[in-house]
Chains A and B, each alone.
Chain A
Amino acid sequence: MTSTAGETRTLHGWGRTAPTIATVVTPRAPEEVAAAVTAAGSRGIIARGLGRSYGDPAQNAGGTVLDMTGLSTIHSIDVDNGIVDLDAGVSLDTLMRRALPFGLWIPVLPGTRQVTIGGAIGADIHGKAHHVVGSFGNHVVSMTIVLADGSVRELTPEGPEEELFWATVGGMGLTGVVVRAKLRLHPVETAYFKVDTEQIDNLDDLMRRQTEDDERYAESVSWFDAVTTGDHFGRGLLTRANHATLADLSPKQRRDPLKFDAPQLLTVPDVFPPGMLNKLTGKLFSEVWYRKSPTRLGAIQNITQFLHPLDIAGEWNRGYGPRGFLQYQFVVPEDRGDVIRTVLSLVTEAGQVSALNVLKRFGEGNRAPLSFPKPGWTLCLDIPIGRGLGELCDELDRVVLAAGGRHYLAKESRTTPEAIRRGYPRLDEWRKVRAAVDPEGVFASDMARRLELI
């Protein structure tokens, strides 16, 4: 049983902040998960996937962490019905490579494919298609979960244990360990997108365009510049797309319409000093990013070009240097779009530099009490850790919460328990479901302690 012996490791999230020590166990089968869960000590246990959450949900100081990537089998793909049955440690990248040749598409893809199925369920991730398809939990047909007492249950979105199903969706791994799931995929003709890119030179127009005709597109997102001030404040790029059909492709592309080319051209070395992203480099980055994509309608782009440009560089988070960075992502109701401008002004006034600013309009949310998406605007900022950042984020919290907004737990790394209570009014309902299956608090994480989720 060497695989469940465990090794002591320092763990942190993708933002490389607040590291803690845990015993990491790598189970190879659901039985080994159950064994580790029942053997967990007083500091508890939590599952970890590929570590793409920015903060601390997949670390457990002084306790046990399950490295779920050891459960990595795709058991079956039912091509006719589009149902895939797979282990929770499989990444979206692996799934896409296996499913695409059958013309099956993962309906919810976030900004990276380096996310496990278990992580995708636990954070109820969303993508650029949220306004049409909703979040990840909406596409889970069933899941197998190991509970605190080591028992195994099969959960479905509707049925006797639906409450536990929806508490697990977005539940940050705190209800149990998802070991296997069945997902419903969507049929596609090609692996390409037909993309409309528009350069829009100020924030108001950028948001107006997204409100007007987002419904015409399967995918929609905008990036804007948070460095430039004045008349071009919030200038940005609106990229929206539909899946390309065979007829849209060039003759060359048509020979292999489901080809999935995802090169990783480089791995960023771990040598960057602190302060690499400053006002100067931030301005430069914003200028280049804005200029690289002039308005162009109907361009055919592959998956990497359109969905995951950052996946080209492995370990890109190292570019922020040893102190790391954080992502600040929130959602505010549709009629509070003004908050986006306020937040952006506060960031520029504070002299902080956010290079990757992603803005999207969400569609309807789902039944999960801790699911992040709800109708409205979601903005994600990306800021290196430095003096004054904590105070700025506290200030942003006040603006966001006053507008009826909330934080995305997969990105969260520094807010207060109070802010989560206010943002997630159904938190107590979730706690009740959790307490029923884990009365002793076996499942625990640094995030759960920090935000008093349990």
Chain B
Amino acid sequence: MMDAVGNPQSILLLGGTSEIGLATVEAFAGDRPLRVVLAGRSGTRLDAARSRLEAKGCAVELVDFEAQAFDTHAAVVDKAFAAGDVDVAIVAFGLLGDNEEAWTDAAKAVELAQVNYTAAVSVGVSVGDRMKAQGHGALVALSSVAGERARRSNFVYGSTKAGLDAFYTGLTEALRPSGVVVTVVRPGFVHTKMTEGLNPAPLSTTPEAVADVIVHAVRTRTEQVWAPAPLRFVMSALRHVPRPIFRRLPV
């Protein structure tokens, strides 16, 4: 159960090796023991994630999760809820891909769409169903500012995040009467393995900083947040910039 100051007792991280996801679990863990379920592709990276959280005093359980194996998702989520209530679930898996490759190679484009959008929708339905039944829960989805306005340099990824964002924004309303708070997080450029080697955009941030934003949002039951916060206003302005100007901007 979530307590009065917003400390959860259990967290499900879908995308068990996500740097933002792990940083968020660590931020919640603080000096409270947490029960954590890491759902991800088994292997050394997932094992490393487990060790990292165990070092923080978390009790970690691994569940094998393959984003594109849609028909296994319900069973994965059931397994994650088997040991008891899940107070916070974070949908953190995703691929960035190479934009030039993705918009010219159908297989690559479909992979991005399936992992970032279809799989996120699929687990969202299953987790939402379980949280509805338990009468409480916080469901966090990692969207991106890239979904707010498509950019030439990043539009395949952006389009998948736009879809995810719209789905979870709607899910926020649908699950509210059931006591479930859905939070859509829109980070800007985050320095992670996924973005290694790319030129950071303005207002770039770190997984730890995004984690702090997420923790605060869950504690205050906030449904939509940007990381860092000023991006909200930047994106609000950018959305209204005319195309001829927008395409010349260094974003």
Q: Which residues of A contact B (CB under 8 A)?
A: 8, 10, 15, 17-22, 43, 54-56, 60-63, 323-324, 326, 385, 389-391, 393-394, 413-416, 446-447, 449-450
Indicate if the CB atoms of B1 and A56 lie closer than 8 Å.
Answer: yes
The smallest beta-carbon distance between B224 and chain A, in angstroms, is 17
Given A10-B179, A17-B3, 17 other A-B contacts at CB below 8 A?
A8-B177, A15-B4, A18-B2, A19-B136, A19-B179, A55-B4, A60-B135, A61-B85, A62-B133, A323-B220, A390-B7, A414-B3, A414-B4, A414-B5, A415-B3, A446-B1, A446-B136
Nearest CB in chain A to that of B137: its residue: A61
- Choose from B1, B4, B177, B178 the contact partner of A326 (Cβ within 8 Å): B4
Q: Chain A residues with Cβ under 8 A from B32's Cβ? A: 394, 416
Indicate if the CB atoms of B4 and A43 lie closer than 8 Å.
Answer: no
Indicate if the CB atoms of A61 and B4 lie closer than 8 Å.
Answer: no
Indicate if the CB atoms of B5 and A385 lie closer than 8 Å.
Answer: yes
Nearest CB in chain B to that of A386: its residue: B5
Nearest CB in chain A to that of B133: its residue: A62
Q: Which residues of B contact A (CB under 8 A)?
A: 1-7, 9, 30-33, 84-85, 133-136, 177-179, 220
Indicate if the CB atoms of B220 and A449 lie closer than 8 Å.
Answer: no
Please name 12 pairs of A and B residues whose Cβ atoms are closer than 8 Å in the assembled complex, sorted by A. Answer: A18-B2, A18-B3, A20-B1, A21-B136, A21-B179, A56-B4, A61-B1, A62-B134, A62-B136, A323-B220, A414-B4, A449-B84
Indicate if the CB atoms of B4 and A324 lie closer than 8 Å.
Answer: yes
Nearest CB in chain A to that of B5: its residue: A390
Question: Main secondary structure on chain A at its contact with chain B?
Answer: loop
Nearest CB in chain A to that of B216: its residue: A387
Sort A-B residue pairs by CB-CB distance and give the 9 closest, nearest first: A62-B135, A61-B135, A21-B179, A413-B4, A17-B4, A390-B5, A450-B1, A21-B135, A20-B136
Tell me which of B7, B84, B135, B220 has the highest count of chain A C-beta atoms within 10 A of its own C-beta. Answer: B135
Q: How far, in angstroms, from A43 to B33 measured CA to CA in the complex?
A: 24
Q: Chain B residues with Cβ under 8 A from A17's Cβ? A: 3-5
The smallest beta-carbon distance between A322 and chain B, in angstroms, is 9
Indicate if the CB atoms of B6 and A390 lie closer than 8 Å.
Answer: yes
Q: Chain B residues with Cβ under 8 A from A22's Cβ? A: 135
Q: Chain A residues with Cβ under 8 A from B179's Cβ? A: 10, 19-21, 61
**A414-B1 contact in complex given A43-B134, A62-B136, C-beta closer than 8 Å:** no
Indicate if the CB atoms of B3 and A449 lie closer than 8 Å.
Answer: no
Indicate if the CB atoms of A414 and B136 lie closer than 8 Å.
Answer: no
Q: How far, in angstroms, from A324 to B220 measured CA to CA in the complex?
A: 11
The smallest beta-carbon distance between A352 and chain B, in angstroms, is 12
